[in-house]
Structure 1
């Protein structure tokens, strides 16, 4: 559209020079249309620039929030890993203490064995209430 108006204005100005002053009326009309169209294009360009600035500002804000969220997620993940590491170390220490390998922790295990040695009687002792066989 801009090129058409510029071309038309140029042709009419050539008509003013070659043919006569009657073309001044059409030059003024197309010149006015050209100025109005250029003004319209300028306003659209300014609006587009404002829109791009706003989008860039929103994108920067969003990127900052996403970076903040990622930092918080990384912090929480590190905290979870550290907690899991501590829990695994504690379990290992308890396991070692239960096995009697590590003396750094007191053995706080429960034993279900009798203190008096073997359970029950020897096989050779025979049944209760009967005399043992001698061979």
Structure 2
């Protein structure tokens, strides 16, 4: 069994910070479960271009408000506490946070730990791992 707390993960290399967001990667590829689990904070007033060409993601909003705009069709979806969105078609989108968003995220295939978005909003398929 693996047991970790959010606080201990936040105080380790499992916390990855970018300009628009920070992600605490609580469960990763090297845990050998077939998916990864993250608590992600999207900073208020930001817009992030995301296009997970190599991953599927499910996102549950814990707190805050924002919206997603899918670029293929221009649809806008409101995000608020209790909302789950699933990127089941590698959907290219813009994620906008009107207030700080706290999100629980699951990735398949699992992330290795140090991934950040490239210039196209993509995570690489297998980045450098964080040690267990």
**What's the TM-score once normalised by structure 2's chain length?**
0.14
Greater helix fraction, Structure 1 or Structure 2: 1
Bigger RCO (CA 8 Å, 6+ sep): 2
Greater strand fraction, Structure 1 or Structure 2: 2
**What's the TM-score once normalised by structure 1's chain length?**
0.14
Q: Which of 1 and 2 has greater Rg?
A: 1
